[in-house]
Amino acid sequence: MENEEQLIDSLKIDLQIDLASKISFEKIKEKLAEYINHLINNNFEQLIYILYKVDVNESKLKRLLKENPDAASVISDLIIERQLQKIKTRREFRTVNKKENSDEEMW
């Protein structure tokens, strides 16, 4: 649940996509795929910008697109995967940072 809320927030910020605050993970994927499909058909430059901004792995994207003809679904899955990686990294960094700060206070 917390990951879904953070994912929605990060997609709103990084992609400028309009998502409801409380929607299921499947609905997030569906809405994102619709948005990506719109960009593929109407604003491909914006899609490329988003892929670089989110830092989607280019070689993985190319490989998956060769295997699966549904580009919007592949791209949305990779964006979600990358955003969840970022959320996890931030959470871990905060935990490590809190621990380091509490260790410093002991001295």
> What would the pLDDT profile of 23-73 be if each residue is shown by its tens digit?
888 899 999 999 999 999 999 999 999 999 999 999 999 999 999 999 999
Q: Is residue 68 part of a domain?
A: yes
Mean pLDDT score, 73-91: 93
When pLDDT is cut at 50, 70 and 90, the band that residue 78 belongs to is: very high
Structural domain harbouring 71:
2-98
In a domain, 19, yes or no: yes
Q: What is the pLDDT of residue 38?
A: 96
Q: Is residue 103 part of a domain?
A: no
Q: State what percent of residues in the chain have pLDDT above 70.
A: 87
Residue 104 is assigned to a structural domain of this protein: no
Terminal Cα distance for the chain, rounded? 38
> Has residue 102 got a pLDDT over 70?
no
Asked if the structure places residue 105 within a domain, the reply is no
| 74 domain-assigned | yes
What total number of domains does the chain contain? 1
In a domain, 106, yes or no: no
Amino acid (1-letter code) at residue 33? A
